[in-house]
Amino acid sequence: MSEHAHRRAQRRSRLRSSAAILAAAAAAAATLLAPSASARPAPAPAALAAAPDIPVANVKAHLAQLQSIATANGGNRAHGKTGYKASIDYVKAKLDAAGYTTTLQTFTYNSATGYNLIADWPGGDTSHVVMAGAHLDSVTGGPGINDNGSGSAGILETALAVSRAGLAPTKHLRFGWWGAEEYGMIGSTKYVNGLAAADRSKIEAYLNFDMIGSPNPGYFVYDDNTKLDTLFKTYFSGLGVATEPETEGDGRSDHAPFKNAGIAVGGLFSGADYIKTSAQATKWGGTSGVAFDRCYHSSCDTSANINDTALDRMTDAVAYAIWTLGTETAPPPGTVFENTTDVAIPDAGAAVTSSVTVSGITGNAPAALPVGVVIKHPYRGDLVIDLVAPDGSTYRLKSSSSDSGDDVNTTYTVNASSEVANGVWKLKVQDVGAQDVGNIDSWKLTF
C-alpha cells in the first residue's frame, strides 16, 4: 500500500484536489513493448464450472520466490531496483508458459524505468472485460511479502488456475501487476491514462488486491460498488466470516485511478498499520491493540509475515470473483436516457436536481439499474446523492464521507424493480459541507 498516500490519509484536514502524484504519471515517458504470447494454443471451449479451491501452498511458493528475489537484490523489490525487474520477469514467465498474452508496459518515474505487466487470457467478449490487479513493488526498506507480494501472488495463482481449468469465460479476463505503487499509484495511473475512452468503457470491473495475508488479519471489502461489494460479502458469508467496509486504504492503492476514471472497482484487504480493536479481535481472532500488520513497510515484511488462513481465504475469494464475473452472461446493449446540462451545486446549500424523462420502456425498471453520474466538485466527501423515481421514491446513491478526492465519476447500481420505468427520474445532489462549489456535469440511466 502506498506510503505517499498513507501519509496523506493520516492527515485529517480535508484536501481540495486530487493527488498531485497522478500528474507525474501523465508526464512519464511511455514505451509499449510488443506483446509476447506462449506458443501454447488457446484452450478449447470447456463446460463452465465452479471456482476452484486455490491451494495456499501454491500461493506461498510464489511468495518464497519473491522473498528469494528480494534477498538476492539488496533486500527489496522496489521501483527502479533490480529486485523489481526480477519480480516482473518471474511473473511474466509463469503467465507466458500458461498461455496468456502478456504485455510489458514501461514508464519513467524518479529517473528510473518502471514496469507494468498486463496478461490477457484468450477468448471472452472483449467488449466486456473483467480485470484483477495488484501492485508488485515493495518499499525500499523491505522485501514486501505481505505488501504486496500477497496480492500479486494471489492473482497470479488465480490466473494459473484459469489456465489449468481451460476456462472459456463469457467475458474477457485480464490481470495486471503494477509498478511504483509505493510512490503513489504511478504504474496503474499510467495504464489507465493510456487507455482510449472506448477501451476504458469496456472494463466492467476492476478488482484490486493489496495486502491479503496480514499476520493479524481483518477481512475488509471495498464498498465502492454495490455489485462487487455484495459479491465478496456473499462469499465470506458462506464461510461464516464477517466482513467490514474497507476504509484504511481508500484512495491509497491501485483501484483509485480506475475509480477516478469511472470504472467500477472492488477488492479485498486484510489491514495495514491501523490497530485491531477488541470488537474486531472477537470477530476475527488475533490480537487487539496491535496493528493488523506490525511489519507494514518494514524490513520484517518477510515470508514469516503472513497469516496462511487469511491468505487462503482471500485467494479463494479472488478466484470466486473471477469465475463468477467472468462466466456470467454479458448484458445486451441498453437504452440510455441522459441529461448533459450543467446544474450548479451551491456551497452548503439546498439540494438541486437534474431530470431525465424515460419513455418507450415496457414495465418496471430493472433490479440492477445503472445510474451513471459525473459531478465536478473539489471535495466529493461533502456530497449526498440520491436517485428519485417518478413516484417520488428516493434511493441513496452516496452519503457524505471523509473521502478526500475530487469529483464523482462512477456508475451506481440501484434495485428499482418496484418502480415503473417510464416517467421523470431525478438526480438529487446536496453539498452538506462548506468552502467549495461544484456542478452536476451529466448523468444517465441505462435500461
Q: Which residues are annotated as catalytic?
A: 181
DSSP state of 147: I
Strand, coil or helix: what is 185? coil
Task: Count CB atoms within 10 A of the CB of residue 90.
Answer: 17
The sign of the CA dihedral 244, 245, 248, 252 is: positive
Chain-centroid distance of CA 357 in Å reads 33
Q: Which residues pair with 413 in a beta bridge?
A: 370
From CA 26, how far away is CA 89, in angstroms rounded?
A: 25
Q: Which alpha helices (H) appear in 168-254, and where do they start and end?
A: 186-193, 197-202, 226-238
Tell me whether residue 418 is exposed, middle or buried, using C-beta atoms within 10 angstroms of its C-beta: 0 to 12, 13 to 18, 19 or more. exposed
DSSP state of 269: E
From CA 311, how far away is CA 351, in angstroms rounded?
A: 45
Provide the residue count of the chain. 447
DSSP state of 73: T
From CA 431, how far away is CA 38, in angstroms rounded?
A: 53
Evaluate whether 225 touches 264 at the Cβ level (below 8 Å).
yes
Strand, coil or helix: what is 429? strand
Exposed e or buried b per residue across 279-318, where buried means at least 16 C-beta atoms within 10 angstroms of its C-beta: ebbebbebeeeebbbbbbbbeebbbebbbeebbbbbbbbb
DSSP state of 250: T
C-alpha cell at 281: 479481535
